[in-house]
């Protein structure tokens, strides 16, 4: 397999960019290269443009992969051109001003920081790939972008949907546009089931944790069905031990909600609090007053899963899925689960009925009657 490396400018520095297929083997190799970075906006790895990086890449990728060092502005590079440094485009100032105005509008509408960052990144990528004046862009350009960029790079349905959402919202706020937002179609989402751990697996993961902070964090995610960001945003005053409740402030969709806290979990949190005495956030990192990072928490989970002898690629969100499924199996009404999880629509919560084994295990296969 050929891997073509292109030299491009990134933040005033020359870097080696590679448009490589997504594979665990390549990701593992790329992560071992000193100074490597991954661009989430264009889904490409890039490395320092020096002899050490080239030697390391050659030693670790050869002979299975054929490495091509392309410093020229050839046809392949033009076809795969994406945003790296916005000031290299002919319409840089126009794009910059329009996206800044759009960002301010989203901030005034109180969109979440994550949504603002995702949408502005999508617009940067789209405009700098299309290279057309903003008001001259029509639906044929969107079709071309989906065909020559999204599909050619084999990017995910979720990633494509983010572009559609960003473009629809952006152009619905502009006048005299050629693009018809109603005719921008979203990709069909695959119907996948949530990943769920058994109660026994959850117990193995939590009981193997020695550190009280780590155990409290993972326990709270599972016991209350929290998202990772919701846990990391918690403050000590959000724990209402007198009413056995946890208050989740301004969660997804800028909504507040409450979730029940068990007596067992309250005791665990008290033990943790006495030991660590957090000042600002309930769970803080190495710097006092600073929130614990999602990356560090994912590493804690990864180590705990490995220690428990579980081979599944468990993520933090699996704990939330497991919480909802186990509640359903225990007979909790679906409407209460919806409220605890903070779902706007009941159809979102109903997906857990497809992974619950409460009723499925009672079904007798006709094979047993043969």
Give the whole-angstrom CA distance, residue 70 versus residue 228.
Answer: 41
Give the whole-angstrom CA distance, residue 18 versus residue 250.
Answer: 39
pLDDT in tens, 20-57: 877 888 888 998 998 888 877 677 889 888 888 888 88
Residues marked as catalytic: 227, 252, 317, 320, 343, 352
* pLDDT band for position 205 (cuts 50, 70, 90): very high
- The model's pTM: 0.58
pLDDT in tens, 209-232: 999 999 999 999 999 999 988 999
Contact 327, 338 (CB under 8 A): no
DSSP 269-294: HHHHHHHH--SSSSSB-SSTTSBPPH
Q: Two tokens at 362? A: 């009672």
C-alpha distances (whole Å) from 335 to each of 19, 339, 344 are 46, 6, 11
Q: Two tokens at 291? A: 């929130």
Radius of gyration of the chain (CA): 24
pLDDT in tens, 72-118: 433 333 333 433 333 445 677 888 888 998 999 898 888 888 888 88
Give the whole-angstrom CA distance, residue 326 versus residue 211.
Answer: 25
Cα angle value 228/232/238 (rounded, 5°): 115
Per-residue confidence (pLDDT) for residue 76, from 0 to 100: 32
């Amino acid at each position: 397999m050929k891997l073509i490396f292109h030299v491009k400018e990134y933040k005033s520095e020359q870097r080696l960019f590679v448009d490589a297929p997504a594979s665990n083997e390549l990701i593992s190799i790329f992560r071992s290269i000193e100074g490597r970075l991954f661009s989430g906006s264009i889904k490409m790895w890039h490395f320092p443009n020096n002899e050490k990086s080239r030697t390391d890449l050659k030693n670790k990728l050869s002979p299975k992969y054929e490495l091509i060092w392309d410093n020229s502005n050839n046809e392949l590079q033009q076809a795969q051109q994406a945003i790296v440094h916005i000031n290299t485009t002919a319409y840089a100032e126009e794009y910059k001003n329009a996206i800044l105005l759009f960002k301010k509008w989203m901030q005034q509408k109180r969109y979440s920081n994550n949504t603002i960052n995702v949408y502005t990144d999508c617009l940067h990528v789209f405009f700098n790939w299309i290279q057309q004046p903003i008001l001259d862009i029509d639906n044929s350009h969107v079709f071309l972008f989906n065909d020559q960029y999204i599909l050619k790079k084999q990017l995910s349905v979720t990633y494509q949907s983010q572009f559609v959402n960003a473009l629809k919202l952006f152009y619905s706020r502009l006048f005299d546009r050629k693009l018809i937002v109603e005719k921008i179609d979203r990709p069909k989402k695959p119907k996948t089931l949530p990943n769920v751990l058994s109660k026994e697996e959850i117990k193995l993961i939590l009981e193997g944790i020695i550190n009280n902070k780590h155990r409290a964090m993972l326990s709270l995610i599972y016991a209350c069905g929290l998202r990772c960001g919701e846990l990391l945003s918690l403050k000590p005053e959000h724990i209402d031990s007198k009413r056995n409740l946890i208050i989740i402030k301004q969660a997804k969709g800028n909504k507040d909600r409450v979730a029940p806290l068990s007596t067992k979990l309250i005791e665990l949190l008290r033990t943790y609090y006495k030991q660590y005495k957090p000042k600002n956030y309930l769970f803080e990192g190495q710097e006092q007053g600073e929130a614990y990072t999602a990356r560090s928490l994912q590493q804690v989970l990864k180590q705990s899963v490995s220690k428990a002898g579980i081979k599944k690629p468990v993520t933090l969100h699996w704990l939330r899925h497991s919480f909802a499924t186990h509640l359903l199996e225990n007979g909790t009404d679906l409407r209460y689960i919806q409220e605890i999880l903070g779902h706007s629509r009941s159809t979102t919560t109903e997906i857990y009925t497809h992974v619950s084994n409460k009723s499925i295990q009672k079904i007798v296969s006709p094979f047993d009657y043969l």
